[in-house]
Each structure stands twice: as structure tokens, then as C-alpha cells.
């Protein structure tokens, strides 16, 4: 592996489940559209518009093409320029055995350049700081795991909150404390959530050691790639560890909500999900150069 | 390797009552594109005219210049394109006295 420059920047567990270099295509990352009965009008509001995957050259109006880490293309998630809009992609697998799963990626993030002076944030441009840094809301990594036809279902969910709703920098990793409201729960009367991942928008707690800035790099058209490694355990139904560059957060004691219901047709489900949400009428982007998932099976 | 292709669904059962543009979509890897516009429901007299647009940066747009899609009432129409560069979107005009159209908009891309 050390002789393969595309793989040597990763640190996989014993078996590589998949390696997605987005110079080769979208590799199965697709929209996480909500459930429906063939009538798209019946998709619940928070899940009806997660936007299609894009292969991006990471091009900008001032410098042209930035490109990805070791190629041209990155997988791009792009929100609409609409307050509280979320873009979300999923890759769907099943598992052979319960145990450790590790997802690694090189990612970067940006809010789109805006030329609309009516969109204001608390701080002004000073030559180094650019207000666009406060126009990026949050991004989230998560899974969706179901143990079997009569087994438990859970989501491990970790979110980097860049700002609050007013555009003040927060820069914290958070974990959720309530269930994702499914289509069936909504049909049974649970209100439409404001946040796709939780019952209430404030059902989040800080990850210990997770308060730090990422490398935004001043302006909307410079992108710096970050290493992220996330380990979860489908045996214990817990997160294990999150690493972002040199920072490692121990997640073993963080609780993960489990559904009371069982889920038909989801035997040994193992899904991987990325999403990005804007708090402002500005498109927010999450770019992934590549994703490698490995397991200890 | 086989030639890569991809279908993106840009609008899903959205109801429009005035002119609109689709979200920017990156197309730098593709040589061929086909827009599909399906009007599921329309008020009487509604006509949808859609122009393909291109962009150098995903921010500023101009018409590509191909003949626009045109559809009166319900139905499915398509617009094949080549030489479109790194970005595509549709600029859609709704014509009629009180126009309203529920649309599905697909973009098919191929290397």
C-alpha cells in the first residue's frame, strides 16, 4: 500500500470494503430521497430535495479550476441558496459481520461566493477574514445500521457546526441525542422536524475535545483538503473514534439512540451518509476527494 | 472502461407559477447531455419554454443558443446538447394568462 500514492494517504483496517476515488466516477453516492408511494408529492418536506451528486472540478470565478487532491474531480454536495436547506448523499451497503467499520476521507468545504450585499454576517472583510466563512452552516457524517429483520436500528451521527444561525462562528463537533424522524413516524403523527437528524433542533451535545477550527483559508475560492477518519462499531452500536487531521476524539462513551421499532426489508443494512446544510440564502458545498471504508471482518 | 453516464433529477414535482432557473450542475466530465422536462400538471393555456444555459463559473450564465424546449400543457420533451463546458442549467419561461406547471426535470450526462 505504501507504493500506491492514492492509498498510502489512508490508514485502513484489515479489509478494504470500498475505495471511491471520485476521479473515476460517483461510485454509488446518490440522493437520500425520502420514502414515497410512487407519488413524489407524498415525500415528507425535510427529505424531498436532498439534491443530486455532482462530480466537481472545484472551479471558481477568480482562479478557474482548483482540482482535487490527486486528480481533477471531487464528489460535491451542494445546497440550494435557501435558509435551512440540506444536501445529502448516501452509499448503501449491507454487512457480512458485525464489528468495526472505519470511514476515511479527504474533504473540504465552502460557502459559494455571493455578490449580494444584502446578505450580511457579524464580521466584515479585513484582508484576511472573509465574511463567507460565516456563511457556511454545518456538515454531518452518519451511518444507518440495522441488525436484521427483528433487530435494532440506529444512526451514529457527528456534525461539525461552523456557525450559529446568526453567522457567529461556533466551530464544534456535536453528536445527536434523539432519533431521526422517519417517514412512518411522521405518518403516525410526529411533527415534521426542522433538522433531518433529530426530533428537535437542539437535540445535540458537544463532542469532548471537538471544539476547533478547520482550515477555511480566508476567501471563498481557496480550498484546503482535510483528513478525516471515523470509526464505529456495529456490534456495540456505538461510535469509537473521530480523527480530523491530528485531533483524535474518543467517542466510546457517547450514547447512540436506538429505535424501538423494527424495520422491514433492512436486513444487515449498512449505509454511509454525508450532508451539508446552509443557515443562509447562500449555497453551501461539501467536497470529497475520495472515501475509503475498511472493516475488521 | 465503459463510458460513464449519470442521471440527475434537478426538480421533483415542483410547482412553478413564474419564470425560474434550475440549480447549477457541474458537467465538465461529460461530452453529451440531454435535458428532459416532464410537465405533470398544468393550468389551461400554460406554455413552458426552456433555454439551455452555460457558465464559466456556476455564477454567471448565458443562453447556449440551441433551440429551446417548448411544451404546451402536459407531456415530456427533451433537448440534446454538446459543447457545453463545465456547467449547465435551464432557464425556464412560463407563458399564459395564469401559468402553473408541476415539473420533473432530468439531466442525463455521458462521457
Cβ of A57 within 8 Å of Cβ of B26? The answer is yes
Residue A155 pLDDT greater than 80, yes or no: yes
- Does the beta carbon of A114 lie under 8 angstroms from any beta carbon of chain B? no
The residue count for chain B? 111
- Does the beta carbon of A27 lie under 8 angstroms from any beta carbon of chain B? no
In this prediction, residue A29 has a pLDDT band, given cuts at 50, 70 and 90, of: very high
Other residues' Cβ atoms within 10 Å of the Cβ of residue A76 = 23
- Given this model, what pLDDT does residue A4 score? 87
- Does the beta carbon of A30 lie under 8 angstroms from any beta carbon of chain B? no
- Name which of A158, A109, A166, A114 is nearest A136 in CA terms: A109
- Does the beta carbon of B2 lie under 8 angstroms from any beta carbon of chain A? no
All residues of chain B having their beta carbon less than 8 Å from the beta carbon of residue A220 are none
- Name which of B33, B20, B39 is nearest B91 in CA terms: B20
Q: Are B107 and B52 in contact (CB under 8 A)?
A: no
CA dihedral A109, A113, A117, A121 (to 10 degrees): 10
Task: Output the CA angle A68-A69-A74, nearest 5 degrees.
Answer: 35
Using DSSP, state whether A186 is helix, strand or coil: helix
- Given this model, what pLDDT does residue A152 score? 87
Q: Residue A241, Cα to own-chain centre: how many angstroms?
A: 16
Give the three cell numbers for residue A290.
Answer: 475520495
Share the mean pLDDT of chain A.
Answer: 95
- Please tell me the distance from the alpha carbon of residue A174 to that of residue A160, in angstroms, as a whole number: 6
Q: Are B89 and B21 in contact (CB under 8 A)?
A: yes
Q: How confident is the model over A264-286, as pLDDT tens digits?
A: 788 999 999 999 999 999 999 99
- Does the beta carbon of B85 lie under 8 angstroms from any beta carbon of chain A? no
Query: Would residue A248 count as lying in a domain?
Result: yes
Query: Would residue A187 count as lying in a domain?
Result: yes
- Given this model, what pLDDT does residue A260 score? 87
> Which residues make Cβ contacts (< 8 Å) with residue B82, sequence separation at least 6?
B31, B32, B33
Q: List residues bridging with B69 in a β-sheet.
A: B50
| B83-89 average pLDDT score | 98
| B2-31 average pLDDT score | 98
ipTM confidence score: 0.96
Q: Residue A144, Cα to own-chain centre: how many angstroms?
A: 13
| B95-110 average pLDDT score | 98
In this prediction, residue A23 has a pLDDT band, given cuts at 50, 70 and 90, of: very high
CATH number for the domain running over B5-110 = 2.60.120.1110
Q: How confident is the model over A70-117, as pLDDT tens digits?
A: 999 999 999 999 999 999 999 999 999 999 999 999 999 999 999 999
Residue A208 pLDDT greater than 70, yes or no: yes
CA atoms within 13 A on the CB side of A268: 7
Query: Would residue A60 count as lying in a domain?
Result: yes
Q: Are A34 and A41 in contact (CB under 8 A)?
A: no
- Given this model, what pLDDT does residue A184 score? 85
CA dihedral A198, A202, A206, A210 (to 10 degrees): 80
What are the residue ranges spanned by the domains of chain B? 5-110
Q: What percent of chain A has pLDDT over 90?
A: 87
Residue A149 pLDDT greater than 70, yes or no: no
- Does the beta carbon of B10 lie under 8 angstroms from any beta carbon of chain A? yes
All residues of chain B having their beta carbon less than 8 Å from the beta carbon of residue A115 are 59
Using DSSP, state whether A41 is helix, strand or coil: helix
Using DSSP, state whether A227 is helix, strand or coil: strand
- Given this model, what pLDDT does residue B88 score? 98
Using DSSP, state whether A142 is helix, strand or coil: strand
Give the residue ranges of DSSP H helices in chain A. Answer: 183-187
- Please tell me the distance from the alpha carbon of residue A30 to that of residue B9, in angstroms, as a whole number: 11
All residues of chain B having their beta carbon less than 8 Å from the beta carbon of residue A51 are 23
| Least reliable range by pLDDT among A129-133, A150-154, A230-234, B93-97 | A150-154
Cβ of B26 within 8 Å of Cβ of A43? The answer is no
Over the Cα atoms of chain A, what is R_g? Answer: 19
In this prediction, residue A1 has a pLDDT band, given cuts at 50, 70 and 90, of: low
Give the three cell numbers for residue A187.
Answer: 405518518
Other residues' Cβ atoms within 10 Å of the Cβ of residue B72 = 15
Cβ of B12 within 8 Å of Cβ of A43? The answer is yes
CA dihedral A85, B94, B81, B86 (to 10 degrees): -30
The whole domain housing A128 covers 15-295
Q: Which of B9, B59, B60 shows the shortest C-beta gap to A52? A: B9
Query: Would residue A9 count as lying in a domain?
Result: no
Query: Would residue A46 count as lying in a domain?
Result: yes
- Please tell me the distance from the alpha carbon of residue B106 to that of residue A102, in angstroms, as a whole number: 35
Give the three cell numbers for residue A177.
Answer: 441525542
Give the three cell numbers for residue B92.
Answer: 425556464
CA distances to A81, A166, B62, B64, B78 from B90, rounded to whole Å, are 17, 32, 10, 10, 12
**Full-model pTM:** 0.97
- Given this model, what pLDDT does residue A262 score? 81
In this prediction, residue A186 has a pLDDT band, given cuts at 50, 70 and 90, of: confident
- Please tell me the distance from the alpha carbon of residue A27 to that of residue A247, in angstroms, as a whole number: 29
User: What's the start-to-end Cα distance of chain A, in Å?
Assistant: 19
- Please tell me the distance from the alpha carbon of residue B5 to that of residue A22, in angstroms, as a whole number: 14
Please count the structural domains in chain A: 1
Q: Are A164 and A193 in contact (CB under 8 A)?
A: no
Mutation site for A-interface testing, chosen from B12, B25, B89 by largest number of A Cβ within 10 Å: B12
Q: Which of B12, B23, B28 shows the shortest C-beta gap to A57? A: B28
Q: Are A125 and A113 in contact (CB under 8 A)?
A: no
The enclosing domain of A182 has a CATH number of 2.60.120.260
Amino acid at each position: 500500500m505504501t507504493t500506491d500514492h492514492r492509498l498510502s494517504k489512508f490508514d485502513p483496517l484489515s479489509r478494504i470494503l470500498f475505495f471511491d476515488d471520485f476521479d473515476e466516477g460517483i461510485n454509488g453516492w446518490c440522493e437520500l430521497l425520502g420514502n414515497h408511494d410512487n407519488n413524489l408529492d407524498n415525500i415528507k418536506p425535510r427529505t424531498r430535495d436532498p439534491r443530486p451528486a455532482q462530480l466537481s472540478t472545484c472551479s471558481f470565478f477568480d482562479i478557474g479550476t482548483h482540482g482535487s487532491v490527486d486528480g481533477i474531480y471531487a464528489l460535491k454536495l451542494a445546497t440550494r441558496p435557501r435558509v435551512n436547506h440540506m444536501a445529502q448523499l448516501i452509499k448503501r451497503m449491507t454487512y457480512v459481520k458485525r464489528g468495526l467499520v472505519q470511514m476515511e476521507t479527504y474533504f473540504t468545504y465552502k460557502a459559494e461566493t455571493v455578490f449580494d450585499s444584502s446578505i450580511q454576517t457579524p464580521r466584515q472583510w479585513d484582508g484576511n477574514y472573509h465574511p463567507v466563512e460565516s456563511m457556511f452552516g454545518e456538515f454531518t457524517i452518519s451511518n444507518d445500521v440495522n441488525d436484521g429483520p427483528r433487530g435494532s436500528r440506529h444512526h451514529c451521527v457527528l456534525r461539525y457546526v461552523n456557525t450559529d444561525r446568526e453567522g457567529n462562528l461556533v466551530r464544534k463537533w456535536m453528536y445527536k441525542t434523539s432519533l431521526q424522524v422517519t417517514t412512518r413516524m411522521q405518518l403516525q403523527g410526529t411533527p415534521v422536524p426542522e433538522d433531518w437528524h433529530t426530533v428537535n433542533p437542539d437535540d445535540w451535545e458537544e463532542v469532548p475535545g471537538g471544539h476547533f477550527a478547520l482550515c477555511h483559508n480566508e476567501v471563498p475560492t481557496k480550498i484546503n483538503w482535510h483528513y478525516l477518519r471515523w470509526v464505529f462499531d456495529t456490534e456495540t452500536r456505538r461510535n469509537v473514534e473521530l480523527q480530523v487531521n491530528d485531533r483524535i476524539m474518543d467517542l466510546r462513551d457517547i450514547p447512540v439512540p436506538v429505535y424501538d421499532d423494527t424495520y422491514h426489508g433492512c436486513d444487515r443494512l449498512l449505509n454511509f451518509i454525508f450532508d451539508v446544510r446552509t443557515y443562509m440564502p447562500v449555497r453551501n458545498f461539501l467536497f470529497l476527494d475520495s472515501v475509503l471504508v475498511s472493516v475488521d471482518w | 472502461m465503459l463510458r460513464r453516464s449519470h442521471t440527475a433529477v434537478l426538480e421533483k414535482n415542483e410547482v412553478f407559477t413564474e419564470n425560474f432557473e434550475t440549480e447549477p450542475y457541474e458537467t465538465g466530465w461529460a461530452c453529451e447531455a440531454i435535458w428532459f422536462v416532464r410537465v405533470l400538471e398544468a393550468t389551461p393555456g400554460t406554455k413552458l419554454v426552456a433555454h439551455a444555459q452555460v457558465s464559466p463559473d456556476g455564477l454567471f450564465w448565458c443562453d447556449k443558443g440551441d433551440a429551446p424546449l417548448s411544451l404546451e400543457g402536459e407531456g415530456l420533451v427533451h433537448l440534446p446538447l454538446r459543447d457545453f463546458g463545465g456547467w449547465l442549467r435551464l432557464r425556464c419561461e412560463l407563458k399564459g394568462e395564469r401559468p402553473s406547471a408541476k415539473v420533473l426535470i432530468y439531466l442525463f450526462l455521458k462521457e
